[in-house]
Structure 1
Amino acid sequence: MGRYPLIFLTLTFTLQVFVPQAKAQPDASLSSPVIPVWELKDVQPTDWAFSALQSLQQRYQCIEGYPDRTFRGEQVMSRYEFATLLNRCLSHDEVINREQPTIDRLQTEYVRELAILRGRVDGSTARVRELEITEFSTTTKLKGVVNFVVTDSSQEGEDTGVVFQARSRLNFNTSFTGKDSLLTRLTVGNALTPNLADGTKEVTQTHQFQGNTDNQVILGKLSYKFPIGERTIAILTPVGGQHRDYNLPAINPFFEDDNAGTTTLSTFAQRHPILSLGGASGLAMSHLINDSLQVGAGYYTPDGSDTDTGLFGGSYSAGIGVKWDAGKDVSVGLNYLHGFFQEGDFGFTDGLSESSSILGTSIVNDTLSQFSTVTNAYGIEAFWRVNRKLGLGGRLGYTDVKVLDEGDAAIWNYSLSLVFPNAGDKNDLGGIIIGVQPYLGRSMGNSQFSNEMPLHLEGFYKWQVSDEVSLTPGLIWHPNPNQSVTEADLFTSSLRMTVTF
């Protein structure tokens, strides 16, 4: 049962029983045309609150839809909106004249009960006010995501088979002031990334991100956001920090879900790959310059808890990102990341402190992790919401790598995506991604390796069975896996059931 219809039933009862005697001035906006209830696109005669909405509109002319001819009955109503709506209904002279005899009779018959009720309300208000002044309390909300996945990643000549995997996340969101947010994420699962094509991470799926915990509950992320002024937010993250944290809202909001397993199948399709370089412990800030321009910056290190190196004594990655809403349906993002990685720390880890890469070829991840490196990564991303059911996205990334005492190297990645929001039923989502995962495109020194483009072709469809359950079948095809023409193609098929609560 939606909260909006319940409030309107309350409003109907209020108008018929407790309309005050004060003569309010009519609201000028009441003279504007009112869309009949039966012409609202998302209100049906079979809806349980239809008669209440129709009665309020016909009798008092105070119920209106939005300009797009929708009512949005499931949307939460604030106290300000309720007060405005009640005032509009009470401002009609016809309401006062029609209901006045009933009001006078009820006030006479229930004068004693009304006096008792008024006293109780005044007492409750005083006690609540005292609690607001003297008490300190926190509010914690729990949001959970559970992925059950039947998946098969196969390659000719390899012994593979269908496996059943699961991963669960519990997100505890706590607010101390109402404007801050402390995120504590607990994760447990048995989801392994298959070991194919020399262990390439191109096959990593979102439910496999921090998915193998040996069925032990671990602290997946600990992050605290709090405002600094009206337009600036600071983010402190001891565990699980990511460069995406200061790049929100995402350029492509339909794919980005922090690897929760509710949208894309692959981690590659989630966000721009350079945002997965480094992470773990750090701090960040995000500032809204105006309604269309946002800038953020962050600094992260995998050694934040190490007493010998700390935040500033070892490997690190520092970045800055800019998001520009060029129009109502067009967004553009620019990112720059500078990093220093000691031997064993390089990788597209996306905040995993154990330096376990989650995308890209094993040639780029494993080769460069053998050395100390200095990186400068540049990325551009754009998204265009063509219409209600179609979106187009594109990404391009280049990373210049200086391998200390060895030479230089280059990493490339790019992709195009088709997004089908509101596909089928209202909350379904479809997607097609064609791209190239991060690969080593230029040799360093005298190193010899294959640098064929490791293609990534992915298609999925998320069917929202109910508000809490979705089913997502999909396929991923990897020609030239691990940037090698000698490797047989990789194929991944998955059927994922996601339960949210």
Structure 2
Amino acid sequence: MKLAHQFLACQAVVALLAQTSATNATELSIDRISSYVPLSKDAVSVEQVTSITQFSDVYPTDWAYQALSNLIERYGCVAGYPNGTYRGNRAMTRFEAAALLNACLDRVTEVTDELKRLMKEFEKELAIVKGRVDGLEARVGELEATQFSTTTKLKGKTTFVIGGVNANGDSQNGISFDQVGTGGADAYNEEFGALTFNYNLDLFLDTSFTGKDLLRTKLRAGNFGQSAFGGRGVNLTGLNIAFASEDNVKVDRLFYKFPIGESFTFIAGAKARNTEVLAMWPSVYTKGGATILDYTAVAGVPGVYNKATGQLIGGYWQQKVDKGEPNLNVSINYVTGNKAGSNSNPGEGGFMTENSAANLTAQVGWGNGNYGIAGAYRYGQCDSNFRKGTSFVQNEKYNLKCTTENGERTTRSSNSYALNAYWQPEKSGLIPSISIGWSINTVNGKRIVDGTYTNSQSWFTGLKWEDALMDGNALGIAVGQPTFATALEGSDTAFDGNYIFELYYNFQVTDNIAVAPALFYLSRPMGQNTQNLIDNGAGYDGRFNVFGGLIQTTFKF
């Protein structure tokens, strides 16, 4: 029994005695004192009870009911009369009071002796526990004394990638390869066919001042500048995690977001990304698994989710619903590109000018963790881009590059529309989650050269099995067509089609280490720029494809 219970027992006895005496003092008169005969042990026999319910004249509404119950049921030191009554309103003699108090004190003494015996028996164990607690207190004190901020947390992720690519198809020996495809498979392999070992490092410094807001500073470094996995040769081989900084650590994100009321969140940043400030991400293909190609990481619609990064303002609204219920959400943000927002020259940049290389992105979504659908729109000024596509779409003379003629800037711009949806089973098994996406892009403004595309599209389907083969692991398969031209201006029909296939297996070694072997195949990544085109009267039949294999290892800390 605890010492606190012993103390309560004494308190209960004293309180009961005091209150009983006080109550009966008001009932006795001077005239009755002479006729009062105190009870004695011989005059009335008493009987020990084990439950307060044994008393027929004690009710829960009585003022001392709880005190009496404690004395009986916890300490067993209260007796009643043989007829099953307690007679709580009757005065008691000092002898009776002494007997009751002595009985309770005897029980307290027994408990104290038992407690001492237990403490002696477990003396070694108690000493070990005390030592551990003292050690933990010392370590906590040291951490509190040395941490650089009480509100900032550091999280990190390091990714190693070892692998390579190989091209097949038409051969043009002795001709250099570049992004517009002036070479064939041999030229590509000569420049990009080596096995490479690259890394990406992300450091997140997350600060909160109120517990609900977030100031994020992200530092990043990587060595993908000369690698095919960084998008060299054909941009579609670029990985989601690829970053080129020549091993220098750079500020990659810097933004602040905070809630306004219960449903709205506002975001502003000197360096933020449009895809990272949405209320909902409309795909579960990369959730809980690996992220390999950049194209599949943007839900297969790079025309809308183009990862534009720069000076940003935006916000989103979320409907408040019960946990697990689908909610409606609306997101909108504006972000400049190519560092234009920090340029004071309005003819070259600026924030919210005609030369901001800006992207205005809006999304309406509905769903929860198991299913969802989203529609999105992006308006892009000149110098914005469609992120990933065929070499023909990415070619500078065909895309949204700003140009100057006779001292005037072009007004070329784009409008992109996307529709995405996802579903995943409540429990992992043979049925995978499915994520789909489709987008269409239109280009408007002054034509630079004949053959400029006016429309392009992309689509994607991704399947992912959770707990594949082993708990915690994931298997992913994706197929689609990255942005490819579907209509040309002032020229013939486009033959820009290209398919992409991706397969990965994410092996979760520990909670913080994952290894993901992956394969991918690009059927015609240069699109209409594919060399050795053969005019067979029905179209073009050039051949150039790329196969890639890699092992991606991720460390989180």
* TM interval, short-chain normalised: 0.5 to 0.7
Q: Aligned match of 2:385 in 347, 351, 358?
A: 347
Residue of structure 2 equivalent to 1:364: 393
Pair 1:311-2:351 in alignment: yes
The separation in 2 between residues aligned to 1:103 and 1:175, in whole angstroms, is 54
Secondary structure of residue in 2 paired with 1:388? coil
Q: What amino acid is the match of 2:249?
A: V
Residue of structure 2 equivalent to 1:462: 506
The separation in 1 between residues aligned to 2:231 and 2:457, in whole angstroms, is 19
Deviation at residue 163 of structure 1 after TM alignment: 0.7
> Does the 8 Å contact 1:422/1:429 carry over to 2?
yes
Deviation at residue 18 of structure 1 after TM alignment: 7.3
Deviation at residue 492 of structure 1 after TM alignment: 0.8
Identity of aligned residues (%): 21
Q: Map Cα deviations across residues 137-189 of structure 1 (whole Å, 9 max, x no partner).
A: 75111111101111101113222121111111111111111111111111111
Deviation at residue 424 of structure 1 after TM alignment: 2.9
Pair 1:490-2:546 in alignment: yes
Q: Quick check: which has more Rg, 1 or 2? A: 2
Deviation at residue 19 of structure 1 after TM alignment: 8.2
Relative to structure 1, the CA distance from residue 139 to residue 161 in structure 2 (aligned partners, 3 Å threshold; closer, same or farther) is: same
Pair 1:378-2:423 in alignment: no
Deviation at residue 199 of structure 1 after TM alignment: 3.3
Pair 1:293-2:322 in alignment: no
Residue of structure 2 equivalent to 1:337: 378
Deviation at residue 340 of structure 1 after TM alignment: 1.4
Deviation at residue 197 of structure 1 after TM alignment: 10
Pair 1:443-2:488 in alignment: yes
Q: What amino acid is the match of 1:363?
A: F
Deviation at residue 320 of structure 1 after TM alignment: 0.9
Q: What amino acid is the match of 2:481?
A: V
Residue of structure 2 equivalent to 1:414: 459
The separation in 1 between residues aligned to 2:295 and 2:110, in whole angstroms, is 65
Residue of structure 1 equivalent to 2:165: 153
> Does the 8 Å contact 2:310/2:335 carry over to 1?
yes
Deviation at residue 106 of structure 1 after TM alignment: 9.7
Deviation at residue 486 of structure 1 after TM alignment: 2.0
Relative to structure 1, the CA distance from residue 107 to residue 425 in structure 2 (aligned partners, 3 Å threshold; closer, same or farther) is: same
Secondary structure of residue in 1 paired with 2:542? coil
Q: Map Cα deviations across residues 303-332 of structure 1 (whole Å, 9 max, x no partner).
A: 11111232111221112101101x762200
Q: Map Cα deviations across residues 405-456 of structure 1 (whole Å, 9 max, x no partner).
A: 457601200011101122233321211000000112211234x685332101
> Does the 8 Å contact 1:140/1:172 carry over to 2?
yes
Deviation at residue 20 of structure 1 after TM alignment: 11
Relative to structure 1, the CA distance from residue 174 to residue 487 in structure 2 (aligned partners, 3 Å threshold; closer, same or farther) is: farther
Secondary structure of residue in 2 paired with 1:244? helix
The separation in 2 between residues aligned to 1:428 and 1:146, in whole angstroms, is 19
Residue of structure 2 equivalent to 1:237: 269
The separation in 2 between residues aligned to 1:172 and 1:102, in whole angstroms, is 59
Deviation at residue 230 of structure 1 after TM alignment: 1.2
The separation in 2 between residues aligned to 1:265 and 1:331, in whole angstroms, is 23
Residue of structure 2 equivalent to 1:187: 220
Residue of structure 1 equivalent to 2:101: none
Relative to structure 1, the CA distance from residue 150 to residue 18 in structure 2 (aligned partners, 3 Å threshold; closer, same or farther) is: farther
Q: Aligned match of 1:178 in 211, 214, 224?
A: 211
Q: Greater share of strand residues, 1 or 2?
A: 1
1:29-68 equivalence runs, <5 A: none
> Does the 8 Å contact 1:388/1:422 carry over to 2?
no
Q: Aligned match of 1:477 in 521, 529, 532?
A: 521
The separation in 1 between residues aligned to 2:5 and 2:421, in whole angstroms, is 53
The separation in 2 between residues aligned to 1:368 and 1:106, in whole angstroms, is 89
The separation in 2 between residues aligned to 1:148 and 1:19, in whole angstroms, is 61
The separation in 2 between residues aligned to 1:189 and 1:105, in whole angstroms, is 68
Q: Give every structure 1 segment of 4 or more consecutive aligned residues whose post-TM-superposition deviation is greater than 3 Å.
A: 15-23, 100-110, 195-199, 369-372, 405-408
The separation in 1 between residues aligned to 2:199 and 2:167, in whole angstroms, is 23
Secondary structure of residue in 2 paired with 1:418? strand
The separation in 1 between residues aligned to 2:517 and 2:201, in whole angstroms, is 19
Residue of structure 1 equivalent to 2:254: 222
RMSD over equivalenced CA pairs, Å = 3.3
Pair 1:143-2:155 in alignment: yes
The separation in 1 between residues aligned to 2:213 and 2:527, in whole angstroms, is 44
The separation in 2 between residues aligned to 1:306 and 1:479, in whole angstroms, is 41
TM-score, scaled to structure 1: 0.67
The separation in 1 between residues aligned to 2:165 and 2:151, in whole angstroms, is 43
> Does the 8 Å contact 2:500/2:521 carry over to 1?
yes
What 5-or-longer segments of structure 2 have no aligned partner? 10-69, 76-106, 120-148, 169-185, 322-326, 403-409, 529-540
Residue of structure 2 equivalent to 1:199: 233
TM-score, scaled to structure 2: 0.60
Relative to structure 1, the CA distance from residue 450 to residue 385 in structure 2 (aligned partners, 3 Å threshold; closer, same or farther) is: same
Q: Aligned match of 1:265 in 283, 288, 292?
A: 292
Relative to structure 1, the CA distance from residue 198 to residue 215 in structure 2 (aligned partners, 3 Å threshold; closer, same or farther) is: closer
> Does the 8 Å contact 2:231/2:237 carry over to 1?
no
